[in-house]
């Protein structure tokens, strides 16, 4: 009799302990899956003012859009229009400091060539309506066009002379998808232009120095319209004052620095244009290029593990470029570049640079800093300054840990199954007692 009471009391205690454990587990599950991961399903009251595909390639596609009211915006995308599981955050919110904007820019990454993708624009946890259908974009095939070797860059300031941060810069070339960048805190912007992609045929198109581009530089309040030649983009001839318009349509040879002009009478000299000394590079494959004496060799060494070494020849117009065949891990590196000057002397340049970790904030360096070269004939050492080069910083690929949730109503089914599994597990514990 006493043993029956003891066992009954023990069973009651076990029941309450198991029930409490079950309640805690289910509460934690509900909080994490339904509170922290809200799924945007309702239609947003906000509407699109502008919407455009930018920075188009076979593996990445940028999306620019403007809403009628400030909001927190991002994209959800995927290859199945009924299961958009990938998230693309607004590039202005990469440092986990989300603010509301009317102008937005996000990048669809890790795409496959010649593949159709579907995406929706989310505004404050709600989907912006597109006739109840997702937007679509098809990537281009891998390009066989020669890569344009010079980046486009410049600086934007306000009327009071202060740098203009978070300003959108859009470069339009013929009928291709436009290129886009956002200025950093210094007011500087940089776009890596490799080739254009025709808006209608998705064919890649080479860029040529003497052809015209239209540049729009804008925020919510002001806009500058600029007409220039492709050859004038490295850099733009003048610092742009936001709100003023410019026309730079002189011939390229009249505006390029003497050391970069093509043709007879050119003054060639050895220099490393990228990376700039002290640059923080937000990508795993840095750009290594410069200028030199035509037909001479340029040797490059990087103190990576394993060590990287390569030798290239300066082309007929005085350009050289080294293509890395590996991905570099985040960290600090030293680059040594050796070549010849116009007098036939051996010269070398040292560049220290950092490969940033994914999601790490990157600040543009000053575009006016001069690099130093050291001439070493036998035992004497001479230094001289070379022409300024732009900061080696890339506004399209930061990656960051996505803050907004991924989408897909199909995930509810998996949540229900998981909840039932936890419930069965709890009942099993109760029965054991």
pLDDT in tens, 70-84: 999 999 999 999 999
Q: Examine residue 145 and state whether it is found in any structural domain, yes or no.
A: yes
How many C-beta atoms lie closer than 10 Å to residue 214's C-beta? 14
Share of the chain above pLDDT 90, in %: 40
Residue 278 lies in a domain: yes
* 94 and 184 housed in the same domain: yes
Domain count, the chain: 3
Q: 182 and 156 in one domain?
A: yes
**What percent of the chain lies above the pLDDT cut of 70?**
66
12, containing H or E segment: helix 2-30
Residue 412 lies in a domain: no
Question: For residue 416, what is the enclosing H or E element?
Answer: helix 411-432
Contact 153, 233 (CB under 8 A): yes
CATH number at residue 347: 2.60.40.10
Instruction: Give the pLDDT band (50/70/90) at residue 174.
Output: very high
> What is the rounded CA–CA span in Å between residue 53 and residue 109?
13
184 and 201 share a domain? Answer: yes
pTM: 0.55
> How are beta strands 372-375 and 382-385 bridged, if at all?
antiparallel
Both 235 and 278 in one domain: the answer is no
- Please indicate, yes or no, whether residues 129 and 7 belong to a single structural domain of this protein: no
Same domain membership, residue 371 and residue 297: yes
Give residue-wise pLDDT tens across range 216-226. Answer: 999 999 999 99
**Joined tokens for residue 363:** 């600040």
The pLDDT confidence band at residue 326, using thresholds 50, 70 and 90, is confident
Query: Is position 262 within any domain?
Result: no
Whether 71 and 83 have beta carbons less than 8 Å apart is answered as: no
Distances 371 to 238, 264, 287, 385 between C-alpha atoms, Å: 21, 27, 16, 6
The answer on 197 and 337 residing in a single domain is: no
Instruction: Say if residue 166 is in the same domain as residue 95.
Output: yes
Whether residue 246 is contained in a domain is answered as yes
Do both 224 and 297 map to the same domain? no
Containing structural domain, residue 13 = 2-39+417-432
Higher pLDDT, 106 or 324: 106
- Do residues 252 and 400 share a domain? yes
Same domain flag for 68 and 80:
yes
Q: Are residues 297 and 422 in the same domain?
A: no
Domain-located, residue 163: yes
Name the helix (H) or strand (E) containing 26. Answer: helix 2-30
**pLDDT tier for residue 206 given thresholds of 50, 70 and 90:** confident
411 is a domain residue: no
Can you say how many angstroms the Cα of residue 51 is from the centroid of all Cα atoms in its chain?
Answer: 19
Is the confidence at residue 194, as pLDDT, over 90? no
What is the per-residue pLDDT across 289-313, written as a single tens digit (0 to 9) for each?
888 888 899 999 999 888 899 999 9
**Residues 85-111, mean pLDDT to the nearest whole number:** 90
With beta carbons less than 8 A apart as the criterion, state whether 360 and 289 touch: no
The per-residue pLDDT for range 21-65, each reduced to its tens digit, is 555 555 555 544 444 434 555 667 788 999 999 999 999 999 999
Residue 233, in any domain of the structure = yes
């Amino acid at each position: 009799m006493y043993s029956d009471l003891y066992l009954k009391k023990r069973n009651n205690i076990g029941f309450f302990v198991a029930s409490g454990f079950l309640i805690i587990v289910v509460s934690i599950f509900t909080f994490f899956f339904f509170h922290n991961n809200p799924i945007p399903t309702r239609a947003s009251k906000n509407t699109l003012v502008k919407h455009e595909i930018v920075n188009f390639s076979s593996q990445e596609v940028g999306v620019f859009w403007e809403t009628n009211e400030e909001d927190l915006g991002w994209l959800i995308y995927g290859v199945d229009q009924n299961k958009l599981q990938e998230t693309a955050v607004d590039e202005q919110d990469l440092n986990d400091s989300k603010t509301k904007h009317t102008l937005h820019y996000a990048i669809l990454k890790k795409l496959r060539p010649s593949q159709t993708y579907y995406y929706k624009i989310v505004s404050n946890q709600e989907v912006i309506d597109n006739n109840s259908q997702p937007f679509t974009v098809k990537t281009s095939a891998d390009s066989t066009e020669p890569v344009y070797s010079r980046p486009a860059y410049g600086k934007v300031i306000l009327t009071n002379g202060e740098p203009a941060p978070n300003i959108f810069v859009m470069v339009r070339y013929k009928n291709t998808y436009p290129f886009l960048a956002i200025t950093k805190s210094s007011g500087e912007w940089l776009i890596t232009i490799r080739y254009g992609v025709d808006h209608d045929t998705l064919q890649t198109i080479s860029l040529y120095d003497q052809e015209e581009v239209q540049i729009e530089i804008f925020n919510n309040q002001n806009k500058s319209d600029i007409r220039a030649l492709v050859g004038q983009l490295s850099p733009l001839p003048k610092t742009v004052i936001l709100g003023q318009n410019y026309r730079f349509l002189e011939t390229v040879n009249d505006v390029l620095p003497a050391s970069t002009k093509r043709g007879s009478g050119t003054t060639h000299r050895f220099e490393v244009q990228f990376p700039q000394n002290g640059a923080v590079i937000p990508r795993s494959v840095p750009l290594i290029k410069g200028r030199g004496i035509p037909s001479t060799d340029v040797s490059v060494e990087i103190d990576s593990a394993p060590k990287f070494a390569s030798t290239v020849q300066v082309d007929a117009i005085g350009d050289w470029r080294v293509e890395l065949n590996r991905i570099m891990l985040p960290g600090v590196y030293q680059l040594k570049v050796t070549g010849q000057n116009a007098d036939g002397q051996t010269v070398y340049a040292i560049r220290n640079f950092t490969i940033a970790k994914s999601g790490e904030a990157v600040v543009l360096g000053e575009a006016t800093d001069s690099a130093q070269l050291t001439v070493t004939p036998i035992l004497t050492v001479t230094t001289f300054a070379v022409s300024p080069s732009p900061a080696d910083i890339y506004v399209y690929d930061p990656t960051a840990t996505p803050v907004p949730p991924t989408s897909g109503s199909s995930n509810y089914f998996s949540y229900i199954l998981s909840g039932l599994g936890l419930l069965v597990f709890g009942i099993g514990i109760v029965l054991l007692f």
